Structure 1
């Protein structure tokens, strides 16, 4: 594999795929479709045989898997692993499952890191998958419990691992939750950004850093795993 496709025709036509080893920040306001967008990018990769790891700091592992099941993916057979950072914080006694590994909380970066490493080992070494998509949803939740320096060190390890393994990483950040200096510091770890902004008619999206110049802003809508991008006339 030499590139990863989003599986969203308009975006793939614009940028021609994402090079192996690329890490992207996905930043946008709350309720702007970020979760569905990144799930769709992962979903489209799983359909093509890629493996995927999702670190979930806001939804239980079961809720994450339900999204994929509800959109037609056979999660029993897909190479999809979820690091669930939520269930144990709710006081719910829950064991690991085939596609879910539980961490103690979003602040348990050591435990999260161990479980991520187990999935990298399973998908890239044991199963020798053709490609791997890695997502943390979201960095903003971790920053509520941790400091920027600690998160930066943690991310440095795993953005490096994405590069070394020729994988594709997407890391979600909530816009307007952080001061500009925090976002600027995090940006140092990424090769580019998927940026979402609110408009009078909805939301628009553009991509920066992985093409010679930023793409134009395009209006978009997300409905489950269907993403509609409207190019300007």
Structure 2
């Protein structure tokens, strides 16, 4: 990131939940996007035990690069080692915040092949440099407005296998209230673990 000199400054740093994943490398995160705990749990998964040492790929259809950086700074006292924001769809500006964060964009949200290739290229490059790579897909829910559940499940099956083989910890958010139970179950069965944020708190179920 062009702003790496900033990484040692004091900043935000809300207390994030502790999520014990065991050996799980890819996670389906279920929770309402209106619940702040869903975001906080996702950030805990993205940052891991050493947020400042992580190299994070953040896939989004919801936030500009500047907004992603602001979210990170609000919750962590230091910047991650590297942060690349991958914008999916053409509804977000890819220049806002581009001077302080790496960006990539996939204009067509139905082009899952290109999305997968770009993500794996980044992972491969960073892994070859010895980075601890983590991936955050901040929501599958808006993507399901453009692709059908079966196509998304096939995409996730291939992607999660490749990420796991590369030693990448990844999580994918889904709003369970926006989809039928069959879709939630199908996507959840692909991941090693399911983290649920609801009225009872944060729970983890290993597959």
TM-score (norm 2): 0.79
Question: Does structure 1 residue 180 correspond to structure 2 residue 175?
Answer: no
Match of 2:39 among 35, 40, 56: 35
* Structure with greater proportional strand content: 1
Matches within 5 A, 1:137-176: 137-176=138-177
Deviation (angstroms), 1:94: 4.2
Q: C-alpha distance in 1, partners of 2:61/2:102?
A: 16
Aligned partner of 2:115 among 112, 116, 119: 112
Aligned pairs for 1:25-174 (under 5 A) are 25-33=28-36, 34-45=38-49, 47=51, 49-70=53-74, 71-74=76-79, 78-86=81-89, 88-90=90-92, 92=93, 94=95, 99-125=102-128, 127-129=129-131, 131-174=132-175
Taking a change above 3 Å as real, the CA distance of residues 9 and 152 of structure 1, as seen in their structure-2 partners, is closer
The Cα shift of 1:145 comes to 1.1
Gaps of 5+ in 2: 1-14
Alpha-carbon separation, structure 1, partners of 2:155 and 2:186: 13
Q: Which entry has the higher C-alpha Rg, 1 or 2? A: 1
Against the structure 1 CA distance between its residues 180 and 162, is the aligned structure 2 distance closer, same or farther, given a 3 Å change threshold?
Answer: same
Q: Does 1:208 align with 2:205?
A: yes
The alignment yields a C-alpha RMSD, in angstroms, of: 2.6
Q: Which runs of 5+ in 1 are unaligned?
A: 1-7, 211-233
* Distance apart, 1:184 and its partner CA: 1.2
TM-score (norm 1): 0.71
Change in 2 beyond 3 A, CA 1:36/1:150: same
